[in-house]
Amino acid sequence: MSSLKNGLTGVLHDFTGLFYPNLCIGCGKILRRNEKQLCLNCLMQLPLTNYHLIDENTIEKRFYGKAEVQCATTFLYFEKEIVTQKLLHAIKYRGQKELGEQMGTLFGLQLKNSRFDKIDAIIPVPLHPNKFKVRGYNQSEWIAKGMALTMMKPLISNVLKRIVENPTQTKKGVFERWENTAGIFESENTELIENKHLLLVDDVLTTGATLEACIIPLQKIKGVKISIAALATVI
């Protein structure tokens, strides 16, 4: 009975696909039955950074003299007109939060059994409540969900909160980004993370100003150590 049900489901999927085809976000081709949001070819061509394998990598060096970070890495390189830009746009602006979880799952698999496996918990960079209300979800939290699943670490989203709704960072320089993020986060329920090594997760890392602003209140908590992971980094 189960095999019959699965067979009928597959036939219905194929029939529906004739009229409403699921297209790959990366290349626009029709997805096969077992493919989700990205085709196998695009998955195989993701521009991986592999920074998790490199001590004192370029991401960690961005925080030198600014914040105490144990380890730092990103999953993908970001450039315009490549698959990473399409992925991030879909996750952040087109409501495809499940794609964020899928990418987080892949990212978590990469970090599992690496030096990042020493963390105790995962914390996503929060959105301001007003922005959350408009978007309906926090893309960084969905990325963190996937990572928590495969790394088998708890996800804690009620310790760090955004108290200032700052304007977009997109066209700002290094100093402007730092100035724009000063004092925008604060911590609560701090007893949940005392003496823990936290992995702070964001969607994109450019200068690191937003993550630095997150670190400031967290590093005041007893015994806290912080590592960084972002889905993508601007080249």
State pLDDT tens for residues 19-40.
457 899 999 999 998 898 999 9
46-234, CATH topology level: Rossmann fold (3.40.50)
State pLDDT tens for residues 158-176.
999 999 987 665 555 555 5
CB 220 within 8 A of CB 185: no
Beta-carbon contacts of 191 under 8 Å, excluding residues fewer than 6 positions away, are none
What's the pTM value of the predicted model, to 2 decimals?
0.86
- Cα–Cα distance, 103 to 48 (Å, whole number): 12
Of 101, 100, 111, 103, nearest to 151 by C-alpha is 111
SS3 196: coil
| DSSP category for residue 206 | S
State pLDDT tens for residues 123-134.
999 999 999 999
SS3 121: strand
Please report the pLDDT score of residue 36 as a whole number.
87
Q: Domain map of the chain by residue range?
A: 1-42, 46-234
- Cα–Cα distance, 133 to 75 (Å, whole number): 28
